[in-house]
Copies of this chain bind each other. A is one copy, B any other.
């Protein structure tokens, strides 16, 4: 099956039933389940926009394997221009969804594996790279949606995988067979997993000798026996079917994360891309993190553009848009948004070719980008809530607006400037609430690694010794 349109995509989900739960209930048809639909709509944009001529240049690319035009989310970056287009694509889809469209995780997983399996093979003479290329061909051809499954649940953070009191707290190989491996464990926070087709499990940290069973990379269909998904709660998730009250009724909020459990899941060898090469775990994580951190100025920059627009609209609707302090706050939001975007562009512009042929962003600047996200997106949200006003927190329900007794009061008293309906005002306020509260922000903090993980990278990449030498030279210190 080749997925081209939104219809194809939704149909494909319907045809691949998976074992998924939400709020304690098993969901029969994930393609129409209301709590999932906004996330499906968001991911569908990655298919829809690829068909739109004005976005073709950003949303598609030419496969280096086949020369065919493919969805960019299945592409291996072949140039700096590809890296920059990735960022621009993310911002463009952010504009259309004001949410997370989830597909970059699998995209980044494939690119990081492309680079890393090449190096494993080089060292060990394995054939992971060839296996991966074959899998990539299928991905480019079928255009299915792949989750990049990195984050283990990790249990006690002060202990390593093998020290945990429960060995399964990091996903690991429990059996090696002639035809494949059996894995057990769970991956947390799996963005877009309930509306994906496959998951690529990967280790989530550097491993040491003794951790071989934990150094495993494998592609697993989400309907494989033994796979269970438990969909997490989001802010206001019970409003998803409530129209105006939902805020962003079509595209929801963030990525619809789930806990994905692997209870003795079998994977054939052709789908295994690392198995025991512990010293490559750390570098794979770093590669994935760099590629993923590259994104945030793009996608969050795009979402932030909508936050700015919504904040401005809310001020226009209550007559405050002309106030100097409002204009200045919008300028601050613009500035923060461009700052995070600049990071994504810069790490792309300084990207370089790897041995595998794939291009790879500058890790320092990719890291820098994500670190700013953990601060600036929060500040953008804070300013938006300043502009939006207290009504963000106290707005009555859409049902109140439509109630025969009190609807007239809501209509009358929540009116802003002439010429704008109370309903429109409520819509933009609910959108602002959706964009600036709870789950929406937490993703900015922890997606692609928590802040401390970036600071550790700075310690590693910061070349402090070289900088100390510069200072010695300037200060004329010879010893």
Contact = CB atoms under 8 A, between A and B. Distances in A.
A142 interface: no
Q: Which 10 A-B pairs have the closest CB atoms?
A: A24-B399, A437-B438, A309-B467, A349-B349, A390-B446, A309-B471, A232-B394, A342-B346, A393-B442, A156-B319
Nearest to A230: B396
A189 B417 CA distance: 19
A105 to B, nearest CB: 13
Given A400-B230, A415-B169, A464-B312, A385 B445 contact: yes
A191 to B, nearest CB: 9
What is the interface of chain A mostly: helix, strand, loop, or mixed?
Answer: helix
Given A391-B188, A393-B438, A400 B157 contact: no
A427 interface: yes
Nearest to A399: B24
A395 B228 CA distance: 15
A25 B397 CA distance: 10
A144 B309 CA distance: 44
A364 B343 contact: no
Contacts of A179: none
A21 interface: yes
Interface string A397-435: 101101101100110111111101100100110110100
A393 B335 contact: no
Contact of A95 (B153, B343, B420, B470): B470
Nearest to A168: B412
Contacts of A210: none
Nearest to A401: B24
A33 to B, nearest CB: 15
A469 B462 CA distance: 40
Interface in A296-311: 305-306, 308-310
A296 to B, nearest CB: 12
A313 interface: yes
Interface in A439-459: 439, 441-443, 445-447, 450-452, 454-455, 458-459
7 contacts: A21-B400, A23-B400, A248-B475, A309-B468, A339-B368, A339-B372, A386-B450
Contact of A259 (B188, B392, B413): B413
Given A24-B403, A325-B455, A335-B458, 5 more contacts: A24-B402, A158-B323, A308-B464, A313-B471, A390-B445
Contact of A228 (B24, B341, B368, B406): B406
Interface stretch (A60-68, A115-123, A233-241, A283-291): A233-241
Contact of A476 (B236, B249, B375, B471): B249
Contacts of A201: none
Contacts of A254: 393
Contacts of A375: 382
Given A316-B468, A318-B154, A467-B312, A409 B335 contact: no
A237 to B, nearest CB: 8
Nearest to A233: B397
A233 B259 contact: no
**Which has the most chain B C-beta neighbours within 10 Å: A257, A322, A394, A403?**
A394
A362 to B, nearest CB: 9
A245 B177 CA distance: 42
Contacts of A347: 342
A341 B365 contact: yes
Contacts of A245: 233
Contact of A459 (B327, B450, B454): B327
Contacts of A397: 22-24, 233
Nearest to A467: B309
A235 B235 contact: yes
A418 to B, nearest CB: 5
Given A331-B462, A474-B248, A238 B235 contact: no
A455 B316 contact: no
A355 interface: no
A84 B347 CA distance: 12
A243 to B, nearest CB: 9
A358 to B, nearest CB: 19
